[in-house]
Structure 1
Amino acid sequence: MNLTLIGASTIADHHLRSAGSLRAIRNLIAEGKIGKALSLRVFHAVELPIHLQGWRLDNPVAGGGMIADLTVHNADTARFLLGEGPVSAVPHMDATGLGQGVEDSAMSVWVMPSGAMVFSHESFTHLFAASGLEVHGSEGSILVRSVLSQEPVGKIDLITAQRTARIEYDRSALYENVMRNFCVAMAGTAKPAASGRDGVKSLKIACAVRDAARTGQCQTVNYGETR
């Protein structure tokens, strides 16, 4: 498995790591602002834009289906924010209006090594919904709206016993950040925002979700040599 080549394609698929919003959320968690992280809810259930429809809705061989398109993003987001990857997944998937031979909606629950739980919701059919996430900890919560986007938008609220605070963050363009980080990594002066191993691990999580949904049985996520 050529992780260098996979890393080159990963910079596009895992652009959210370069969003100032997600970096701010990760810092809040790492700094202990919400205490011990207990659960993460990621909702990436939105409308698939017309210009992106096509093979995503009817061609599983080409990588069609919502799990291959969106669950990988949620998987990488969870790994990036919590610093660990799930060990098991229990999901359900369905075709609810757009999918033709592929799923267009799914929900799943993942368990992290630390015991934290992740709820992941993805869909192509939710015309009036917004993306976002919630991180709940022993001493606070982070409520986030509309940040799972290619644009540097959305709001972040940190809620603790003391107060509710709106968190400001870097709103520079995501893909400019992606390419800047990639060039710095290629120069050998920093690590890439997302490596080939990150790409493989997110794909393995998505595959476990799909296999569990197809079989109706909880699946262990096998990362193999990518650990």
Structure 2
Amino acid sequence: MDLQALVDAASTRDWDTDPEGTVSLAVVGLGNYARNVSIPAIEGGDYATVGAVVSGDPEKAERVATEHDAAALTYEGYAEGEAVDAYDAAYVATPNRLHLDGIRTAADQGKHVICEKPLEATPERAAAAVDACDDAGVTLMTAYRMQADPVIRALGSFVSAGRIGQPTKAMGEFTFPVLAGSKGPDQWRLDAELAGGGALVDVGVYPLNTARYLLGSDPVAVDATARASEPFGDRPDDPESPRLADEHVHFLAEFPEGTTGEFTASFSGDADSWLELVGESGRIRIENAFVPNGERTVRVSTDAGDVTLSGIGADETVEEFDYFAHCVLTGTPPEPDGRDGLTDVAVMDAVYEAAATGRRTDASRR
């Protein structure tokens, strides 16, 4: 793939075979992201629709259902199979430690699943989610919207074709000032038991997973530091989740073939997100990398020349749901499947262990 081919591929769906039909989704969890980002993306695409909405607040469920001509369910109703014919698959967007319950319910009903990242709060629970869908014979996709972005997919092909040479280093940051909006410190993202951690699991997973995707490989070991000031840092009582709600985390990752990774995630500070990949004969830098539907700028420098990509691509959240629905309609396994999500949960578990012990930690799936 040369530079012109990269530009052409960055605005093309390489997976779309134009299948007939649509996939109706039950949106499980009606937080701000699900209501204001995911549902508009589902309705803005070609292959997915909203068939049901699920919330612990019946009034909210009724209001959102009326807005989108969908069935309204409580979590109890969803678990009991109410309105099960209104949807073909479930989009699980609850707090992280509740993902397994939503996934198991869908799998038991024979429904396919797309689940928000991280797949679950612990490797054990993430593995149970994968097993539940495997046992039921249904598709499980981890909602890594970056992997559906035509720009990122084109860059993955560019790297795998050797256009920047052997990758030597991957670097990235995602800083999201979580208290800067309308929500205070009581939000679930600061509850380490519900979230499975703090900044690392909420925003650090983006540069980690995108780097893994572009490199086509997984970390084998990590070193890390993490810190937190009030109101961050509380540890949960549950001994199965002995993590802190980290405010800042910085970790080094050792990839195969001599590639090193260096990543930072923060819940406070100046908002920013970027990813850079350095190779023996080239470099890729993505600015404003992980903001939903953000105006990204990609700079590619190689021995063959330089190119800057901006104003191309698509809304990656629309692409994510259409890609999932396309996989269901065509019987194609998704690339960011449940095991991809499980790998990230295992790596992040190793990062927390390395931060707690001050020692280099094995990052293979545990």
TM-score bin (small chain): 0.7 to 0.9
State the Cα distance separating 1:55 from its structure 2 match: 2.0
Match of 1:187?
Answer: 329
Structure ID, larger Rg: 2
Match of 1:131?
Answer: 273
Match of 2:247?
Answer: 104
d(CA) in 2 for partners of 1:110, 1:52: 32
Q: Secondary structure at the match of 2:341?
A: helix
d(CA) in 1 for partners of 2:183, 2:320: 21
Instruction: Note the 1:1-227 alignment, pairs <5 A.
Output: 1-3=128-130, 5=133, 8=140, 10-11=142-143, 14-48=144-178, 49-51=180-182, 54-57=187-190, 59-63=191-195, 64-96=197-229, 98-101=231-234, 102-127=245-270, 129-167=271-309, 170-224=312-366
Q: What runs of 5+ residues in structure 1 fail to find an aligned partner? A: none
1:106-165 CA distances to partner (integer Å, 9 max, x unpaired)?
1110001221001111101122x4211111001011122102121142101111345331
State the Cα distance separating 1:100 from its structure 2 match: 3.9
d(CA) in 2 for partners of 1:211, 1:126: 24
Residues 217 and 117 of structure 1: CA distance in aligned 2, closer, same or farther (over 3 Å)? same
d(CA) in 1 for partners of 2:327, 2:230: 42
Residues 206 and 51 of structure 1: CA distance in aligned 2, closer, same or farther (over 3 Å)? farther
Residues 21 and 153 of structure 1: CA distance in aligned 2, closer, same or farther (over 3 Å)? farther
TM-score w.r.t. structure 1 length?
0.87
d(CA) in 2 for partners of 1:146, 1:73: 12
Q: Secondary structure at the match of 1:164?
A: strand
d(CA) in 2 for partners of 1:50, 1:193: 33
Q: Secondary structure at the match of 2:299?
A: strand
Residues 214 and 21 of structure 1: CA distance in aligned 2, closer, same or farther (over 3 Å)? same
Residues 144 and 52 of structure 1: CA distance in aligned 2, closer, same or farther (over 3 Å)? farther
Q: Is 19-28 or 159-168 further displaced after alignment?
A: 159-168
Tell me the amino acid that sits aligned with residue 39 of structure 1: K
Residues 162 and 9 of structure 1: CA distance in aligned 2, closer, same or farther (over 3 Å)? closer
1:60-105 CA distances to partner (integer Å, 9 max, x unpaired)?
1111411221232232112111001000000100115651422111
1:72·1:205 contact (CA, 8 Å) conserved in 2? Answer: no
Match of 2:119?
Answer: none
1:21·1:169 contact (CA, 8 Å) conserved in 2? Answer: no
Q: Secondary structure at the match of 2:300?
A: strand
1:17·1:80 contact (CA, 8 Å) conserved in 2? Answer: yes
Residues 52 and 145 of structure 1: CA distance in aligned 2, closer, same or farther (over 3 Å)? farther
d(CA) in 2 for partners of 1:223, 1:90: 16
d(CA) in 1 for partners of 2:260, 2:248: 20
State the Cα distance separating 1:173 from its structure 2 match: 1.5
TM-score w.r.t. structure 2 length?
0.56
Name the structure, 1 or 2, with higher relative contact order (CA <8 Å, separation 6+). Answer: 1
Residues 215 and 151 of structure 1: CA distance in aligned 2, closer, same or farther (over 3 Å)? same
d(CA) in 1 for partners of 2:264, 2:183: 19
d(CA) in 1 for partners of 2:352, 2:182: 25
1:75·1:206 contact (CA, 8 Å) conserved in 2? Answer: no
Tell me the amino acid that sits aligned with residue 60 of structure 1: A
